[in-house]
Structure 1
Amino acid sequence: MTYLLWIAYKGTNYAGFQVQPNARTVCEVLQNAMQAVLGCRPDVKGCSRTDAGVHARRFALSFAYDGKVPAQKMVQAFNAHLPPDIRALEISEVPPDFHARYAAHAKTYCYYIRNARIDDPFTFDTCARVSQPLDIAAMQAAAAQFVGTHDFLALCASGSGAAAHGDTVRTITRCTVQQQGETVVITVTADGYLYNMVRILAGTLVEAGLHKRTPDSVLPLLQSRDRRRAGQTLPAKGLFLEDVAYL
């Protein structure tokens, strides 16, 4: 049987999702819990790797299991063996060839910015902070320019395998900026992402909010394919994988 498991996690104490030889990761901790419950260590296919410090409200993964533990008992049993910063949410059976990464047709990320002079002790590890006032209307106008199918190489950090193969065209279907009190939320939905793409996009929108670039500079930036012309890569701690869409 192949299962689709949804989890949520706070990534502060982890070196990302994917298993690494010399660092504690979400996948490793999850597989430890699965082994305790299922009596085996399933090969987990995650929907994304996520970098160190990145969080997830709804992260999807698939795995095969043919043992005796029924699916309806797995979520509660996994949570009994997981730390409080990782939670199993729900599970369902999927076709045998389902792969959580390759079956996804869209992913939504949110980037959270605290726009204030002082950090909030309750959100300092889940928000980046920008102390100068941000022009939200300018950020919204710039965000709209990212929507569509573009070559996003200018928003890609070095070391990207996709960039090395020339695979840098993606389609963004939503890019918005909302202010919620002292928190600014950047939301991006796309069919795929390049390495650090959302964090660089968020850094570019902050430049628009600080009047360091105009909204109409976005398309020339993308056409340049030059990372040096984009904004800084904002810290990982402000990034959340919000949801993954499957057909």
Structure 2
Amino acid sequence: MHNYKLFIAYEGTRYSGWQIQKNGISIQALLEKYLSIILRSSIKIIGSGRTDAGVHAIGQVAHFKTATSFEFSRLLKSLNGLLPPDIRVLSIEEVPLDFHARYSAIGKVYHYYLYVGPVKDPFNCFYAYRVPHPVLLNTLIQAAKLFIGTHDFTSFANKATTGSAAKNAVRSLRRLSILQEEEYIRLELEANGFLYKMVRNIVGTLLDICAGKIELEKIPAIFQAKDRRLAGRAAPAQGLILAKVDYETTCL
């Protein structure tokens, strides 16, 4: 038995997300389908985490185990030949048997793109959220500082009473960078882990602060309340990209 690690990129607009769904096409389902065809055995893939419908990735990681032998270059070419053009496996490598794409991860980086121009960009409408109100960069930067550090993020997680959030909703947000590039603003969020919809809820709350719907001074109280209803809206999916998953070098 061998364990293989995949680096994957996808444009998520047409898909129901990473995880296999009863109603809708998922990234995981297509990868399992075509890997099983090529290797002529049932293949189960485990990803580093779920991405929702409409969310993109340039650095998703997954692993699968098989006893079937193959040439890396041939498998990569065959797999990308069968996959739709908006999903690509960037590389395949063998890793130790105890490597786990999800549980071996020590951190993730997400990017969220805002478009602040006067008219929506038709060539980038699936990859950035056009904010319908003014966004003051200084306000955004000031508000972002309140989220950095180790906190209980229950108020910024959907389904906080189930899954990993119910067991432990404490996460360490190591970085929340705000970078402006002409009419775009990129938010880069790096943490040891993220709860369900945590990134979109943080971004939505930051935008509600900019819109005057939430007072900056209320953020500490929102954290303390552990109540999702007190935080801001969830930012739309299309602006979100899973950029990178980090692992200890000893795991690779």
Please give the TM-score of this superposition, normalised by the length of structure 1: 0.94
Deviations 1:191-226 (A, max 9, x none): 111111100100111123334445443223212222
Return the alpha-carbon distance in structure 2 between the equivalents of residues 65 and 200 of structure 1. 38
Change (3 A) 1:164 1:104: closer
Gaps of 5+ in 2: none
Equivalent in the alignment of 2:184: 183
Residue 194 and residue 160 in structure 1: after superposition, are their counterparts in 2 closer, same or farther (change >3 A)? Answer: farther
Percentage of identical aligned residues: 37
Distance 1:66 1:164 in 2: 35
Who is 1:64 aligned against? 65
State the Cα RMSD in Å. 1.7
Contact residue 135 and residue 210 of structure 1 kept, 8 A: no
* CA distance, structure 1, for counterparts of residue 140 and residue 221 of structure 2: 16
**Structure 1 residue aligned with 2:116:** 115
**What's the counterpart of residue 23 of structure 1?**
24
Partner of 1:53 in structure 2? 54
Question: Segments of 4+ in structure 1 off by > 6 A?
Answer: none
Give the corresponding residue for 1:81.
Answer: 82
Unaligned runs of 5+ in 1: none
Aligned AA (2:130):
R
Question: 1:22 Cα deviation (Å)?
Answer: 2.5
Q: In structure 2, give the amino acid aligned to 1:43.
A: K
Deviation at 1:71, TM superposition (A): 2.2
CA distance in 2, matches of 1:214, 1:22: 39
User: What residue is the counterpart of 2:39 in the other structure?
Assistant: 38
> Could you say what secondary structure the match of 2:78 adopts?
helix
> How many residues are paired up?
247
CA distance 1:98–1:164, change in 2 (3 Å): closer
- Aligned partners of 1:114 and 1:130 also within 8 Å: yes
State the match for 2:104 in structure 1.
Answer: 103
Deviation string 1:10-46 (CA, Å, 9 cap, x unpaired) is: 1100000111122111111112221232222311011
Mapping of residues 1-247 of structure 1, within 5 Å: 1-158=2-159, 161-162=162-163, 165-247=166-248
CA distance in 2, matches of 1:159, 1:100: 23
CA distance in 1, matches of 2:3, 2:143: 42
Change (3 A) 1:75 1:215: farther
| 2-structure distance, mates of 1:164, 1:134 | 30
Post-superposition offset of 1:68: 2.7
Higher mean alpha-carbon deviation, 1-10 vs 68-77, is at 68-77
- Structure 1 CA distance, aligned partners of 2:59 and 2:161? 24
Contact 2:154/2:165 (<8 A) preserved: no
